[in-house]
């Protein structure tokens, strides 16, 4: 494989199950896997540092493996000495989504989000999202002959109104194009150039790197050497990085990411989250409701109920933190039996509490923002519960916290809750 050498950089490659496993037979697509391995090997020979993120259903046999739960909960997004050391040794680390259950309600695009967080925290130059299409389109190109590929995205908020992302991908993957946009939003906010391209031709990564190297050379100061842009643009969509990247995850969440919904918390949780000792992590016990629809990994507003009779900046009335909602012994027994027998449908249909209260923007005030660890339906189901019950209710628990990396902008004394 003869390739033009591009400027050495740090590259994260995300490869989903639908890209390398046949959707009907569930057999691995060995030719694609072979091409991926060959591509990674030659990227390393060119001096690039490469990290792979994958779903746990497949394993290409590379050098190292980290699960998303250890990355999120133990590393705390910042303990990167190990992965950086592996890269310096020429090892190709693998960050593994570690899917625990194949239910679309429970898992929604975690691998895309994980790849974005990985690329952001190691200050990668590029994130390649390899998928079963060669870029972002205005509509599903398989169903709409008028769908057009979008080559360059400079504003993710603007692009959301131009494209249709309603498709959820194949039955094997954990997300569709919407989760790719979420990932691009996270990564570009941290200064990482993000590319969506086809997994059928992973070797196109070389041409894409060369193409963008040429563009950068033209935009920089003139040199004596003539810079030629490749005559053919390799098929892909590129999301341009932020001109002022935010390297800290809380900073992106607070200032860069577009919040997809809201989590309503009680006054006790608000006070706890305002303290540094909380680590910016919200337990289900402090949640009283959700607003809007959002996926795990998306930014959410943290809001509290306010009294309409009182104005802003009034001191909060003293209130006792709400006690965690507890399951009745009968409910716990039912859940335990259902969980042990693997009857997930029983767990899903069990109504352990009254319906979640409904809130409007008029009822609440935003006090902060964070990253959702579960989707809106899951957080609504476990609201007010002790964290020990998450596995029983949801069938899994990747984290004991429902929202992390929370930055509280409005302290308790500046609000008044009902």
- pLDDT over threshold 90, residue 238: yes
| Residue 80 pLDDT greater than 80, yes or no | no
Q: What is the mean pLDDT of residues 139-157?
A: 87
The full set of domain ranges for the chain reads 10-246, 250-414
Q: Tell me the average pLDDT across 152-159.
A: 88
Question: What is the average per-residue pLDDT within 83-111?
Answer: 62
Helix (H) / strand (E) element for 300: namely strand 299-305
Would you say residue 32 has pLDDT above 70? yes
Instruction: List 346's β-bridge partners, or say none.
Output: none
Among 64-73, 157-166, 360-369, the range with the most confident prediction by mean pLDDT is 360-369
Name the pTM for this structure: 0.61
Whole-number pLDDT of residue 239: 96
Look at residue 335 in the predicted model and tell me its pLDDT: 40
The residue ranges of DSSP E strands in 176-215, in sequence order, are 193-198
Mean per-residue pLDDT over the chain, rounded = 75
Of the listed ranges 98-107, 203-212, 269-278, the one predicted with least confidence: 98-107
Among 184-193, 266-275, 334-343, 346-355, the range scoring the smallest mean pLDDT is 334-343
Please choose, from the candidates 318, 332, 347, 336, the residue with its C-alpha nearest in 3D space to the C-alpha of residue 386.
332
Which neighbouring-strand residues pair with 299? 371
Does the structure show a pLDDT above 80 at 324? no
Question: What number of helices (H) and strands (E) belong to the chain?
Answer: 14, 16
Q: Are 204 and 235 within 8 A, CB to CB?
A: yes
Task: Note the pLDDT of residue 183.
Answer: 87
Maximal CA-CA distance, the chain: 79
- Mean pLDDT, range 375-402, rounded to an integer: 93
Whether 390 has a pLDDT exceeding 50, the answer reads: yes
- Most trustworthy range by pLDDT among 93-97, 154-158, 339-343, 394-398: 394-398
pLDDT over 80 at 60, yes or no: no
pLDDT digits (tens, 9 = 90+) for 242-294: 887 776 666 666 655 678 899 999 999 999 999 888 888 999 999 999 999 99
Overall average pLDDT of the 305-309 stretch: 68
What are the angstrom distances between the C-alpha of 176 and each of 13, 19, 140, 347? 17, 12, 11, 26
The DSSP string of 326-340 is ---HHHHHHHHHHHH
Residue 339 has pLDDT above 80, yes or no: no
pLDDT for position 228: 63
Mean pLDDT of all residues in 363-391: 92
Quick one: how far is CA 152 from the chain centroid? 21
Q: Which residues contact 410 (CB under 8 A, 6 or more apart)?
A: 365, 366, 367, 368
Q: What percent of the chain has pLDDT over 90?
A: 32
Q: Which two tokens stand for residue 71?
A: 């990355």
What does the block give as tokens for 280?
């910016």
List, in order, residues 6 or more apart from 90 with CB less than 8 Å away. Answer: 44
pLDDT over 70 at 81, yes or no: no
Residue 208 in tokens: 């894409």
CATH 1.10.1040.10 assigned to domain 250-414? The reply is: no
pLDDT for the residue 252: 60
pLDDT mean over 89-93: 89
All residues at 6 or more sequence positions from 330 whose CB lies less than 8 Å from its CB, including other chains: none
What fold does the segment set 10-246 form as a domain? Carbamate kinase (3.40.1160)
Check pLDDT > 80 for residue 396. Answer: yes
Q: Is pLDDT above 50 for 71? A: no
User: Residue 100 has what pLDDT?
Assistant: 34
The stretch 153-174 carries a mean pLDDT of: 64
What confidence score (pLDDT) does residue 344 get? 44
């Amino acid at each position: 494989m003869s390739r033009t050498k591009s400027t050495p950089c740090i590259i994260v490659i995300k490869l989903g199950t639908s890209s390398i496993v046949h959707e009907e037979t569930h057999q691995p697509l060995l030719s694609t896997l072979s091409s991926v391995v060959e591509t990674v090997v030659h990227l390393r020979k060119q001096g690039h540092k490469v990290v792979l993120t994958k779903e746990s259903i497949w394993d290409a046999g590379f050098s190292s493996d980290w699960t998303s739960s250890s990355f999120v909960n133990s590393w705390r997004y910042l303990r990167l000495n190990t992965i950086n050391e592996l890269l310096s040794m020429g090892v190709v680390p693998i960050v593994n989504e570690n899917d625990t259950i194949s239910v679309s309600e429970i898992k929604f695009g975690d691998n895309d989000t994980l790849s974005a967080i990985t690329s952001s925290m190691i200050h990668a130059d590029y994130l390649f999202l390899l998928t079963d299409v060669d870029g972002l389109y205005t509509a599903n190109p398989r169903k709409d002959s008028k769908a057009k590929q979008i080559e360059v995205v400079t504003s993710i908020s603007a692009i959301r109104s131009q494209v249709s992302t309603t498709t959820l991908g194949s039955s094997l993957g954990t997300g569709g194009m919407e989760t790719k946009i979420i990932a691009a939003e996270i990564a570009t906010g941290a200064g990482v150039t993000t590319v969506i391209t086809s997994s059928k031709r992973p070797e196109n990564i070389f041409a894409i790197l060369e193409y963008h190297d040429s563009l950068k050379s033209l935009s920089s100061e003139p040199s004596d050497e003539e810079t030629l842009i490749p005559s053919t643009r390799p098929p892909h969509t590129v999301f341009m990085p932020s001109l002022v990247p935010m390297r800290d995850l809380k900073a992106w969440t607070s200032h860069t990411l577009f919040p997809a919904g809201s989590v309503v918390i009680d006054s006790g949780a608000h006070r706890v989250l305002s303290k540094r000792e909380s680590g910016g992590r919200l337990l289900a016990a402090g949640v009283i409701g959700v607003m809007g629809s959002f996926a795990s990994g998306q930014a959410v507003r943290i809001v509290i109920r306010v009294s309409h009779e009182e104005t802003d900046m009034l001191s909060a009335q003293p209130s006792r933190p709400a006690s965690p909602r507890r399951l009745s012994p009968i409910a716990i027994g039912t859940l335990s039996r259902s969980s042990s027998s693997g009857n997930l449908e029983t767990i899903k249909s069990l109504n352990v509490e009254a319906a979640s209260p409904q809130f409007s923007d008029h009822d609440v005030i935003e006090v902060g923002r964070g990253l959702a660890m579960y989707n809106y339906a899951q957080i609504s189901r476990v609201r007010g519960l002790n964290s020990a019950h998450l596995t029983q209710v949801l069938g899994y628990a990747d984290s004991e916290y429902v929202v992390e990396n929370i930055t509280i902008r409005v302290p308790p004394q500046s609000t008044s809750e009902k």
